[in-house]
């Protein structure tokens, strides 16, 4: 049952990724996020973990919005490890920048906009207004911890980082 939903989630994820091919999403591969994981890989893993959490907890979420918001939550185009006045206080400022960039490239629902803008809660003090945003907050922290600790190759994490087809 859970495997079926993982496959369904993956199908929706791949469909949304295909629809993003003309956007700047692929550019995020150039920028490291945590450890040896780039921003693109991070966002895909966050989308997968978000779906898994929603399924495991039996949450009634908009699957498309959950995946789109997760894919775009870190839609910025710089290496935040490199000191630059243009992205000072990255942890606090990047949600707003990601949202602006995402709105330049996509027509987002209010749920997707809120997910992106509030995903750094509680570092940024205003919480999400939607269930999808809360799921994203948790999934982002799970993935950030795995990446920072370089646990992305362990058995648990591999399906989120390598994708279903590459699990072994």
Residues that bind Fe ion (CB under 5 A): 74, 140
Between 74 and 112, whose beta carbon lies closer to Fe ion?
74
Q: Is the dihedral of CA 130, 135, 137, 140 positive or negative?
A: negative
Between 111 and 137, whose beta carbon lies closer to Fe ion?
137
| In the complex, minimum distance from the CB of residue 116 to Fe ion, in angstroms, rounded to a whole number | 9
| In the complex, minimum distance from the CB of residue 163 to Fe ion, in angstroms, rounded to a whole number | 18
Between 5 and 35, whose beta carbon lies closer to Fe ion?
35
Between 60 and 138, whose beta carbon lies closer to Fe ion?
138
137-146: which pairs have CB atoms within 8 A and are 24 or more residues apart?
138/53, 139/46, 139/47, 139/49, 139/50, 139/53, 139/70, 140/46, 140/70, 140/73, 142/49, 143/42, 143/45, 143/46, 143/49, 144/33, 144/34, 144/42, 146/45
Given a contact cutoff of 8 angstroms between Cβ atoms, the answer to whether 115 and 130 are in contact is yes
| In the complex, minimum distance from the CB of residue 27 to Fe ion, in angstroms, rounded to a whole number | 16
Residue in this structure with the two tokens 């091919």, named with its chain if needed: 21
| In the complex, minimum distance from the CB of residue 142 to Fe ion, in angstroms, rounded to a whole number | 10
């Amino acid at each position: 049952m859970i495997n079926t939903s993982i496959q369904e989630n993956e199908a929706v994820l791949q469909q949304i990724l295909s629809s993003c091919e003309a956007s700047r999403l692929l550019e995020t591969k150039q920028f490291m996020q945590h450890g040896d994981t780039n921003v693109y890989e991070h966002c895909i893993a966050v989308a997968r973990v978000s779906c898994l959490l929603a399924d495991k907890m039996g949450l009634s979420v908009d699957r498309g919005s959950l995946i789109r918001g997760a894919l775009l939550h870190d839609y910025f185009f710089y290496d935040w490890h490199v000191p630059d006045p243009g992205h000072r206080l990255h942890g606090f400022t990047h949600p707003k920048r990601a949202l602006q960039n995402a709105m330049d490239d996509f027509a987002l629902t209010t749920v997707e906009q809120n997910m992106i803008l509030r995903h750094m809660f509680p570092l940024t003090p205003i919480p999400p207004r939607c269930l999808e945003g809360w799921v994203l907050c948790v999934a982002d922290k799970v993935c950030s911890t795995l990446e920072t600790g370089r646990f992305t190759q362990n058995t648990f994490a591999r399906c989120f980082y390598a994708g279903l087809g590459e699990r072994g």
